[in-house]
Chain A
Amino acid sequence: MKTTDTLRRAGRSLRQAKARTLLTSLAIAVGAFTIMMSLSAGEGTRNYSNNLIQSNVDPRALFVVQDKSLFESGGSASTGLREFDADVSDRNGRSIKLMNQEDIDALKARDDLEEVVPTYQLSVRSVTFSGSDKQYSAEVAAYNPDVKSEIAAGSLPEKGVAIKDDEIVVPEGYATTLGITPKDLVGKTMTLTIIQPTATLSEEEARQVIAAEGVEGLAQRAQGETKELPLRVVAVTKQAATSFTAATSASVSANTAREIAEFTTKGTDTYQKYLGVTAKATEGNDPAEVKTRLEKEGYAAQTAKDLQSLIFTIVNVLQYIVTGFGILALIASLFGIINTQYISVLERTSQIGLMKALGMRGSDVSRLFRYEAAWIGFLGGVIGIILALIATIILNPIINNALDLGTGNYLLAFVPWHAIVLLASLILIAILAGYFPSRKAAKLDPIEALRTE
């Protein structure tokens, strides 16, 4: 019997038992749907996090710290006393070794790193805007030239280029608070007031101050020195959907950030002490190799890829779990196929006998039943995949809305070739499930079969 005839005949047999065929395929469809959704969700989430990372982190970027434990979750918190070390700070019960200026300089001197910027801890006492005396409190961070920002007003240098030292970028929320349009905010001067903590002077130093500036000078020292930094607002940014940075902080250039950090920590233990630096591998240097070199020298580093693989690991584990359920559903449905096909063989005993009497080969009879199983697998797969496609189309905008992912970001990505591979595997699996019933049909003795009636 020709393959096309066998296929047509198989399809016809299934159509003649519509309800049974449909129910058996629906069981497969459940598995197919689950697997397809899990594939789509995995793909979508990976795409989204890629998007997220790419718009926030330069692929060449590295985050270098002195203390490896920063990258390790958990870890044992030390209790009790430890020897004093000016380079060690305590955070959440853990001692963190900080970087000092020497480390920074050493890193800056390397030829496989560029744009080495320490992570400044910026604290600003208050801010004012030109045209008003009203004081506000605000968070300030160093401007990250690699983050794509949507602009509400003003302009930003192109990606990868820093802003000038006397410039500041503010979030849209500031305009709302000030009750003006973002456009009006651009060009205004935003003055940051920063304070130096009270200097603890030795007796000797105190005497010198009194000698030079009198008692007022000493009083001023005791109060702490303040400094005002007038900065020009160059741009008002919208919170980009794919941005990691909080919408609440204003951004200043790296130099200004340094000025603020050093001024506000002068005379304290944290002066010129940093958690780590952000840097970029220089052109032609693989960040991963730079990382290995840094680690050999006792630093710890994370590349953009590390961050990505961290997210991917989580996504993948979730995906494996869901796919696992889909596979379980599929296995259950396979017994459905086996059962259905066994019943079909029994029901059609006389038909099989007749076909064999008319000269149909056992292998052709077996093929007929395997093709029927294949049709069931195909049908179930198509139903499941179409349902998954529909679910993707319906759910994507809903998820997007609920999680506020921003335009064009969808957590479910339907990949056609995934669907095709899935469908092909389903057909193959169904054929395997149909193997035992089809063998029974092939081995049927035509005389026995024709006696049935």
Chain B
Amino acid sequence: MIEVKNVTKTYGKGESRFMALDDVSFTIPDGVSVAILGKSGSGKSTLMHIMSGLDRTTSGEILINGENVFVKKQKNIDAFRSKTMSFIFQSFFVQGRESCYDNVGLPLEIAEVPVAERKKLITKALESVELGDKARQKAKDLSGGQKQRLAIARAIVNNPKILFADEPTGNLDTATGAVIEKLLFRYAKEQKATLIVVTHDPELAEKCDMQISIRDGKMQYIRGQSEKGENE
């Protein structure tokens, strides 16, 4: 369960002070898929960064499973993040000069997963995004859709309980985007993981259990929380 409580984020000081998030509160139960909607510059990415502990709040707090993880030492936050969550970005951030295999292996190295277990996990992740045959290929030789699939494989290889995706289909055509969406939802369902997708796309948002809309840093509406929340 992720609880966002009265989160405010301001950038800059004095005259140029800018409120990217203004008193945002909501709760996301475990295992649901959430869409964060809003216009460009409304603060969606900022919210996602704060929820994942990448960024700190100006005021307010984030509780994950009742624990305020992000007031801990950076070292502990990092360890927590490497074991519980993962990311997918609009511009894939795959390492072009490394093989697909090594790209996917990165989170396992960071989480210090024993070497013996890695091969199995990496192969499984690559196969689940249908890149099993490209393990030894350099990532730069992949197509855009394949790169994002590789990014998904990298995101899911360590079985994260929370998956953040910031406009995962933003750089892809509709058909390819659909494949990516399907992969994300399938993973979330199979692993009972929480999926948080930042998107412009209302269609994608509709497929999620919950929709949170942000406008100029303020929460505009939240849908679907009650039904799901009661189920938990």
- A residues adjacent to B (C-beta < 8 A): 1-2, 5, 9, 12, 16, 350-351, 353-364, 446-447, 450, 453
Contacts and interface: CB of A to CB of B under 8 A. Distances in A.
B109 A9 contact: yes
A359 B93 contact: no
B59 to A, nearest CB: 18
B75 A16 contact: no
Contacts of B83: 359
Given A16-B97, A446-B54, A450-B93, A362 B109 contact: no
A1 B78 contact: no
Contacts of A364: 110
B55 A359 contact: no
A359 B109 contact: no
Cβ-closest 6 pairs across A and B: A359-B82, A359-B81, A16-B97, A5-B109, A359-B78, A360-B110
B225 interface: no
Contacts of B106: 354-355, 358
Given A1-B109, A16-B98, A355-B110, A360 B54 contact: no
Contacts of B74: 361-362
B49 interface: yes
Nearest to A15: B97
Given A1-B112, A357-B87, A358-B87, 14 more contacts: A1-B110, A2-B109, A16-B97, A16-B98, A350-B93, A354-B106, A357-B52, A358-B106, A359-B79, A359-B80, A359-B83, A359-B110, A360-B110, A453-B91
A1 to B, nearest CB: 5
A364 B112 CA distance: 12
B21 to A, nearest CB: 14
A360 B82 contact: yes
Q: Which size bracket describes the interface of B in this complex?
A: 20 to 34
Contacts of B81: 357-359
A208 to B, nearest CB: 111
Contacts of B79: 359, 361
Contacts of A362: 74
B217 to A, nearest CB: 16
Contacts of A350: 93
A174 B83 CA distance: 91
A356 B53 CA distance: 11
B89 interface: yes
Contacts of B167: none
11 contacts: A9-B109, A353-B93, A357-B81, A358-B82, A359-B78, A359-B81, A359-B82, A359-B107, A359-B110, A447-B54, A450-B93
B102 interface: yes
Nearest to B95: A351
B111 interface: yes
Contacts of B86: 358
Contacts of A353: 93
B88 to A, nearest CB: 11
Contacts of B87: 354, 357-358
B93 A361 contact: no
Nearest to B80: A359
Contacts of A446: 54
Given A9-B109, A447-B49, A361 B89 contact: no
A423 to B, nearest CB: 27
A12 B95 CA distance: 12
B93 A354 contact: yes
A109 to B, nearest CB: 81
Contact of B112 (A2, A16, A355, A447): A2
Contacts of B89: 354, 450
Nearest to A353: B93
A353 B52 CA distance: 14
Contacts of A363: 75
Contacts of A450: 89, 93
A333 B129 CA distance: 46
B50 to A, nearest CB: 10
A241 B82 CA distance: 71
B110 A358 contact: yes
Nearest to B84: A359
B82 to A, nearest CB: 3
Given A362-B74, A453-B91, A357 B54 contact: yes
B78 to A, nearest CB: 5
Given A355-B110, A357-B54, A447-B49, A12 B80 contact: no
Nearest to A350: B93
Contacts of B95: 351
A360 B106 CA distance: 10
Contacts of A453: 91, 93
**Residue with the highest number of chain B CB atoms closer than 10 Å, among A16, A354, A364:** A354
Contacts of B52: 357
Nearest to A16: B97
A360 B78 contact: yes
B86 to A, nearest CB: 7
Interface string B41-79: 000000001001011000000000000000000110011
Nearest to A8: B109
A122 B74 CA distance: 89
Contacts of B111: 359
A446 B109 CA distance: 18
A359 B164 CA distance: 14
Contacts of B55: 447
Interface in B159-179: none
